[in-house]
Amino acid sequence: MGFFDFLKGPDINEGVAAYSGTPGAVLLDVRTEEEYRSGHIPGSVLLPLQSLNRVDTVAAGKQTPLFVYCHSGARALQAASYLKHQGYSSVTNIGGIIRYRGKVVISS
């Protein structure tokens, strides 16, 4: 590992693969509705950062595996910290969609 590798943050592509292989997992997009409509990862659920207090509407319980992403990774980091503080035991920050190489869904 190089000196600056810690600056790169999580690899969203690896995170999406981990999400796909985790039964019962929820993929949370914590961006704004406008950002979500402009392109999101298939299967993701929009729950903007400012609405995280409603996470219980998308997670079956505190043990539900949650994989969180945003645009660059900063909001996902905040969301993951908040969710862990709220008692969610399996929260993974997978970073920012700007590094995602897979298919995205565009909504109107």
Active-site residue set = 70
Q: Strand runs (DSSP E) across the chain, as ranges?
A: 26-29, 45-46, 66-70, 91-96
**Cross-sheet strand order for the sheet of 91-96:** 45-46, 26-29, 66-70, 91-96
User: What are 66's strand-pairing partners?
Assistant: 26, 91
Terminal-to-terminal C-alpha distance of the chain: 42
CA angle 78, 81, 85 (to 5 degrees): 140
